[in-house]
Structure formats: structure tokens, C-alpha cells
Chain A
Amino acid sequence: MLQKLEKMDRRIIYLVVFLSLAIPLIWPIGLPISVGPETASLYKFIDSLPARTPVVISFDTSPGGYGELSSGAIALLNHLAKKDLRCIGMGFFDTGPSLMQSALANSLYKGKTYGTDYVNLGYVSGGENAISAVAKDIIAKFPKDFTGKSTSGIPVMQGITTMKDVSLIVTVSSGTPGVAEWIRQVGDPMKVPMATVLVAVNIPNMTPYLNAKQLYGMIPSMKGAAGYEALIGMKALGTSGMDAQSISHLAILFFVILGNVISYASRNKPGSAKGGGRQ
């Protein structure tokens, strides 16, 4: 039995994980969803903003990261649209603005007026240097929007010259430049409230910014998206994905425990050099 398990084809693990994800997506269980304090604080902050307040959303992600961030980004856009806030989009990853177009098309902004209620300014190359330059003069660095139209005099940008003129900056972030660069160049020096929609891998690295109040809030991965959807009362992809998330975690926990048991048992077997870990 132990030998069989030791030589188990790794594709069986893939299959079990696949099924643990696919089955709850097709037949949802409806497990309870909890809202984290970092997600609730972002919701409260946005909810307190008066209508027509400008908010910058920077899509600093690639398609690889967007699969994880899309539900959180769309939930956030829906909240901004519900509150009738001005949404100023941009990106410092070349693929960011294209992904923002997709997110806008799937959000409540679809029914609003482009140029008056929201805009996608596009992409500026240069990473952290570009963030710093854009912060000092937004329109100068985005003379044209993502669709190639001139940004001069568009209503959504009325009264906005620098990042100091916006009430919140949210970076939809999966890498560099991302949260740390935004905080270094804009959040801290210009005293602009910042938040993030973040990939799970980066949560431990970014939590110190929350504790230091350099971030007002965070929508971490699909879990945060599900919580945010619950707060705004619009259940969508984040909520439906959480059953699958929970069941797949159980499957992975099972395999981690099984792997450790096999490793421990084979280590204690006489003459065995297998099992990994400390010999």
C-alpha cells in the first residue's frame, strides 16, 4: 500500500484538484463567506465619498494575474459606479489598460458615459519613474486616452491636475510596479489614500502597509472579491468561486497530510533512503 502511494502518478493529484474545483462550480454548495477587516475598511472608505469624487484605478497587472484579480476589480468598479464616483483608469503594465477595458465592459460603468463618468487613460512605459511623472501632471503624460482620443478638456478630469487632486488611488496589482512603488512615489509623499486589489501571493508582503495605515484597504484575491461582492450586495464570480476555493483547499490539505505521512513512514522503514526531508 505504502509503495503504491509512493509511486502514485502525480496526474491523479491534478485530477482530484481539478474535480474539487469543477464540481462545486457546477453544483455550488453555498458555504458562508466572511468579510476581512481590510476589505470592509476599503468598502467603508469608498462608501463615505460624496458623488462625483475622482478615484484613480491603475491596472498594474498582466493577463496571468488578472485571472485572479478580475472579480475583485469588477466588484470595486461596481461600487464606484453605484456611488456615482468618477473613475480615472490607467496602467503601468502594457497589458493593464486592455484588461481595464474588459473590466469596465463587465461592470456598471457600461451604462455610464465615457469621458464624463469614467475614462481609460491608457499606458505609460517606465514603471516606477512613470508613476512619479504621472503623479505630478496626469494629463501631460496622457495626452491621448486608450482609444486614441485627446484627453484635453474631458469632463471626467475637471479639476484634476496632479494625484493630490484625487481622493483615492487603487492599484489592481500583480507585480512590479505595484503597491510598493505607488506608496513610495504617490501615497506617502503626496498623502493620497491608497488601496489595492491584490494577488494572494503578495498578501504577506503587503500586510505591513495595512498595519502602518499606508494602505486604507485591500481586496485580497478571490476571497476579498467574494467579501466585497457581499458588501455591495452584488454576488458574482467571486462568490461563486469561493465554494471551489474552499473544497480545493481541503483536497490540497489532504494531499499535504498524506505526503507527510508517507514520507514519515518510509523514513522509518529499514534500508529506505526515500521520503525526503531530514535523513
Chain B
Amino acid sequence: MKISTSVGVWIASLATLAIMSFVYKDNPFYRLVENLYVGVSAGHAIALGWGNIRDLGYTPMVKKGQWSLLIPIALGILLYTRYYKPVAWVSRIPIAFMMGIGTGLAISGTVGSQIVNQVKANFIALNTFSNFVIVLGTFGVLSYFFFLLEHKGPVGVVPRFGRYVMMVAFGAAFGSTVMGRMSLFIGRLQVILGDWLGVLGR
């Protein structure tokens, strides 16, 4: 057992214990660290955001004469008009720009990568059990969301199969979530038991 002498490790470990103490019951230590976390995250985001405005907006504009950057900077400032009711409507202009650009970029990419390529990936030879499951599963799940015909009698067989496929998928998602949460906890325990207390087995 070799207890750490690093201030950072002590802070990280004690903060972890304070957060974990919530599972017993709410307490002042938990609330202190919770507020600290929110505050540090907000401060960090503001500092980095300011760095972005300085390096990608202000500096190229003033030092390199890229005055066209005034347009996005002005649009950014207009976002804050929403805090003054008489001119709050002005903030819709930059929001519309952001929505338009974001949607345009996402849709153009989505058609290729999330529709065309995914459909193409389902054109596979039915020579293995896995390939059968992929093709039939996709067909079954899609048919479950086909509402033109009532899912009764023989018409309901394929959608019912699709429902079972979805249940298996949700089960896999739940299992993965458990694995993820345990991995997170193991990560914190490795800090507490290893870096802080030095009792981790090798």
C-alpha cells in the first residue's frame, strides 16, 4: 500500500467519493462537488470558446485583413438580442443560418452514408446464418413500421418477427449499457484503489 502524495490525485479521489456518496443518500459533499463540476465545465467551455473566437475570428480579421469574418461575428452577437424582449426576434436570423447550414450539411451526408451505403450493405449473399439474420431482421423490423395493412393473421407474421428482432437488439443495448457503466466505475476505482491508495493488484 503506497498512498499518493499528488494533490491532483487526492482531489480526484475525494471528489469521486463525494459523488459516489449519493448512492447512500443526498449530502452536502455530493452537492458541493456536483456544483464544482458544473462550474468548472462551464468555465472551461467559455475559455475555449473565447480562444476559438480570438484565433478563428478576431486575429485573422484584424491582422490578416479578412474583414468578411465580420459577418459571422455580427451574426453571433445578434444571438444575444434574445435577452432583450423588444428586439428578441432578431436572434432568429442567426439561428436560421445555423439551422440551415447544419441541416444542409447533415442531410447531404446522411443520404449517402446512412441510407444508400446501409441499404447496399444489406445486398449480401445468403450463404451464412449471420447473413440470413441480417437480411430477415432488417426486413422484419422495417415491416413492423409499415402501417398500410393491419398486422393481423398471416400479414402479422413478419412484423411480429421484426418485433422479436428489436427486443433482441434492445437487450443487447441494455447489456452494453451495463458494461459501459461498469467500465466507468472500474475507471474511477482504478484511480481510488490504484493511483490514490496503491492497493491495485497486478
Contacts and interface: CB of A to CB of B under 8 A. Distances in A.
A188 interface: yes
Contact of B190 (A128, A203, A237): A237
A153 interface: no
Contacts of B48: 94, 123, 125
Interface string B100-141: 011001100110111001101100000000000010000000
Contacts of B201: 25-28, 240
- For chain A, what secondary structure do more than half of its interface residues adopt (helix, strand, loop), or is it mixed? helix
B144 to A, nearest CB: 17
A240 B202 contact: yes
Given A28-B201, A180-B114, A204-B172, A249 B178 contact: yes
B117 A188 contact: yes
Interface string A89-104: 0000011001000000
A200 B185 contact: no
Contacts of B51: 122-123
Contact of B176 (A11, A200, A252): A200
B120 A128 contact: no
Interface string B161-180: 00000000100110011111
A129 B117 contact: no
B102 A199 contact: no
Interface in B69-117: 101-102, 105-106, 109-110, 112-114, 117
Interface residues of A, number: 56
A223 interface: yes
A189 interface: yes
Contacts of B183: 67-68, 200, 221-222, 241, 245
Contacts of A94: 44-45, 48-49
Interface string B18-45: 0000011000000000000000010011
- For chain B, what secondary structure do more than half of its interface residues adopt (helix, strand, loop), or is it mixed? helix
B178 A11 contact: no
A210 to B, nearest CB: 10
B184 A67 contact: yes
A125 B186 contact: no
Nearest to A70: B187
A141 B118 CA distance: 31
Contacts of A211: 121, 134
B54 to A, nearest CB: 9
Interface of B: 23-24, 41, 44-45, 48-49, 51-52, 55-56, 59-60, 101-102, 105-106, 109-110, 112-114, 117-118, 120-121, 134, 169, 172-173, 176-180, 182-190, 193-194, 199-202
The 3 closest A-B pairs by CB, nearest first: A184-B109, A200-B180, A212-B121
Given A200-B179, A212-B118, 10 more contacts: A67-B183, A70-B187, A94-B48, A124-B56, A143-B55, A180-B114, A202-B176, A240-B200, A248-B182, A248-B185
